[in-house]
Amino acid sequence: MKPATKYWKNLFLFCLGLFGAAAFCMKWMESDLYANGEKFSIMGLELFYPKEKVIAVMTGLDDQVRTVLSYHLHFDFVFMAGVFPGIAALSMMARHKAAGQLKTILLVSAILQAVAWGADIYENLSLLKWMKDPVIGDEFGLFHFIVAAKWIIALTGALMAISVLVFMRKKS
């Protein structure tokens, strides 16, 4: 194994540990996410709920749920530190096995994970801000665009890298 590949593999494994630990903690907290007597989801807040529903959720939080949601969003920062560098490392590992234009595409995918990470930070900071003051202005459309872009960049990068690694493994 080349030293560079070993570096990316070690980084990926470290990130996988961060990802797993934070995901476990966040999943554990999800059962406590209720507002106005109704269960809500983080994915709903991120992508699926209209502005009015997000405002209703944020105004309907009691102190205990507000604390749990705050913890969840803060654990998400740790989760991000596992996910985005992990996908970048996976892309770089796949890049070492690829050839031609695919090497460049995988490099761009790895670099774009920093953009996705920044988008996820923006998302969490917005949700934390709206928890304190549930007044959501015209930025909601931008919020949804940025969140969707984050998901597209991350999922495309992960799927592309995994596909290359699986295909190249079968080929060799």
The number of domains in the chain is 1
**Is residue 14 predicted with pLDDT exceeding 80?**
yes
pLDDT of 172 above 70: no
What is the domain range of residue 69? Answer: 3-171
pLDDT at 1 over 70: no
Given this model, what pLDDT does residue 118 score? 98
At residue 171, the pLDDT reads 65
CB atoms within 10 A of CB 104: 11
